Structure 1
Amino acid sequence: MTGPHIGMSATVWAATVVLGLTSGGVLGAGTARADDPIDTLSAQQIADRSSDALRGARSMHLSTRTASADGSAPTTLDLIVDRAGNCTGSVGLGGKQGSVRIVKRGDTVWVRPDAQFWKSRDSRVGSALAAILAGRYMKGSASDPRLSSLSGACDLATFQKVVSENAKSDKGTLTKGEKTTLAGAPVVPLVRTWHGQKVTMYVAATGKPYPLRIDVTGGSPKADATVGFSAFDKPVPTTTPPPDETVGINVQEIRAT
């Protein structure tokens, strides 16, 4: 009987969504001064500056929501992450898979699956683990193969590396929309369409040109999703679960109990 394996590659997935807009020179980057207002630039120039700003962030709040093909609960990610791999937040696994709270500090990770997560697993193993944990966090090494996929979602450095190393692409058409507002903040929307999929990125029009939100609709297979970025360069909270809310044993030991 194998133990629970929590997997999530949402951070890399979010990176590929960003790359769908920031890669390649469909329109050609051209030249622009660093102090040019962002809304006066071409679509590709804005995309390039947004990519540079994102790569330069030391930390951020990253959220994703991906619609499920079967209409069940969406897959979600809500994490504050930094370049050192520290994070705090939650991952929703979609459908009837439940959700998991996660805190990672250095090489140590704490995870607390909810009741639905345990119900979705093997009934005997899930019930045993739920009883042992009794609502507490499971503490282990970030390198544990059963936790590494989840803790890997905390790696902002990898996310930024994927952005920076992506090869040039000429897929689809990239266009710039009219300056507008998003949650009260001035933004410039960029839209890339390709094979029926529409990806819209809202770039901050004041301050650093960070991407603030990306919406994905259509395509085949259809994959409607939203990625949000905020709280740039604000540190990840350092609070970790206290000992009385933690089971200090690894997954392998729990399985053997």
Structure 2
Amino acid sequence: MRFAPRAGLAALTITAALLAGCGNGDKPDTAAPAGTAAANGVADLEAAAILEKAKAALKAAKSFHVKGAVSDSGEVTKLDLKVAGADVAGTIDMGGATLEMLSVGGARYIRPNEAFWTMIDSSGATAKLMKQAVGDKWIKPTANDASLGSFFFGASDIDEMLTPGGALSKGEAKPVEGVPAIGLVDGSDAKTVLYVATSGEPYPIKMERPAPEGLTFSEFNQTFPEIKAPAAAEVVDQASLKK
């Protein structure tokens, strides 16, 4: 299984270069603690069928929270994202280079910190320019700028997020995050184990990897008030930066 926020970094770099050139209060529905819900039957299924049940459950949930860290070519990326369908709010941290990202109703916004711009341009010129032009506001890419698409899509594409690199096998059954769960071991990397709840809804609960990597899934079906469009005064259009 994988979750690759860096997959869209190359595309995001293109956007950065273009820029430089110029709650309803409901309680969360989480998997029930051990002993409080009937077994859901997934523990008796084959590994591949369990994964399909987990994907279906996560897709059926109105929302979820994914948090943790992944690595790509030895570089660790921390993420903290709240997902509601195609809408996303949260942060991705690549060694201190932090990107706040927000997607609401098809409109996308980004708010990089200074270290992020310095990662794009080590001279510091871009960071200085963006600080003067944008400050702490959100940047809204132009409507025809598709370079951010894969970056945001990776946060909400459940099939991509939970696709194993090899054949799956069933692993250990144990409580995970207080929930009875069954492990799914990725044949391409035995160090990657996805734990799926075996009571209540068969949600994915945790993607276990050697520290500091690993992801947890929680807050299923909660309304996230932070997933909302920012006020117009808090937004700078990409088009205005290129004038």
TM-score, length-scaled by structure 1: 0.66
Cα offset for 1:170? 10
Q: 1:189 aligns to what?
A: 183
Contact 1:177 1:191 survives alignment (8 Å): no
Q: 2:208 aligns to what?
A: 215
Question: Matches of 2:41 and 2:212 in 1, distance apart?
Answer: 31
Q: Which has the higher contact order (CA 8 A, sep 6+)?
A: 2
Question: Matches of 1:44 and 1:106 in 2, distance apart?
Answer: 33
Which string of whole-angstrom CA distances, capped at 9 and with x for unpartnered residues, describes residues 138-187 of structure 1? 13346523433433345x3xx245589x8xx9944512313x22222222
Q: 2:126 aligns to what?
A: 125
Identity percentage of aligned residues: 23
Contact 1:204 1:211 survives alignment (8 Å): yes
Q: Does 1:254 pair with 2:241?
A: yes
Question: Matches of 1:130 and 1:36 in 2, distance apart?
Answer: 52
Q: What SS does the aligned partner of 1:234 have?
A: coil
* Pair 1:44–1:149, CA change in 2 (3 A): closer
Pairing of 1:98-247 with structure 2 (within 5 A)? 98-122=97-121, 123-141=124-142, 143-154=144-155, 156=156, 159-160=157-158, 162=160, 171-172=166-167, 174-178=169-173, 180-194=174-188, 197-216=190-209, 225-237=213-225, 238-247=227-236
Q: How many residues align?
A: 208
Q: What SS does the aligned partner of 1:127 have?
A: helix
1:4 to 7, 16, 19: 16
Q: 1:80 aligns to what?
A: 82
Question: Matches of 1:124 and 1:188 in 2, distance apart?
Answer: 50
Contact 1:187 1:205 survives alignment (8 Å): yes
TM-score, length-scaled by structure 2: 0.69
* Pair 1:227–1:134, CA change in 2 (3 A): same
Q: 2:51 aligns to what?
A: 47
Q: What SS does the aligned partner of 2:115 have?
A: helix
Cα offset for 1:211? 0.8
* Pair 1:105–1:211, CA change in 2 (3 A): same
Question: Matches of 2:230 and 2:216 in 1, distance apart?
Answer: 26
Q: What SS does the aligned partner of 1:203 have?
A: strand
Aligned-residue CA RMSD (Å): 3.4
Cα offset for 1:210? 0.8
The one-letter code of the counterpart of 1:46 is I
Cα offset for 1:35? 7.0
The one-letter code of the counterpart of 1:49 is K
The one-letter code of the counterpart of 2:185 is V
Question: Matches of 2:215 and 2:144 in 1, distance apart?
Answer: 27
Question: Matches of 2:218 and 2:228 in 1, distance apart?
Answer: 20
The one-letter code of the counterpart of 1:254 is L
Which string of whole-angstrom CA distances, capped at 9 and with x for unpartnered residues, describes residues 178-210 of structure 1? 3x222222222222333x543211111221011
Question: Matches of 2:61 and 2:139 in 1, distance apart?
Answer: 30
Q: What SS does the aligned partner of 2:229 have?
A: coil
Question: Matches of 1:227 and 1:68 in 2, distance apart?
Answer: 15
Question: Matches of 2:168 and 2:154 in 1, distance apart?
Answer: 30
The one-letter code of the counterpart of 2:66 is L
The one-letter code of the counterpart of 2:241 is I
Q: What SS does the aligned partner of 2:206 have?
A: strand
Instruction: Mark the runs of 5 or more structure 1 residues left unpaired by the alignment.
Output: 7-33, 218-222
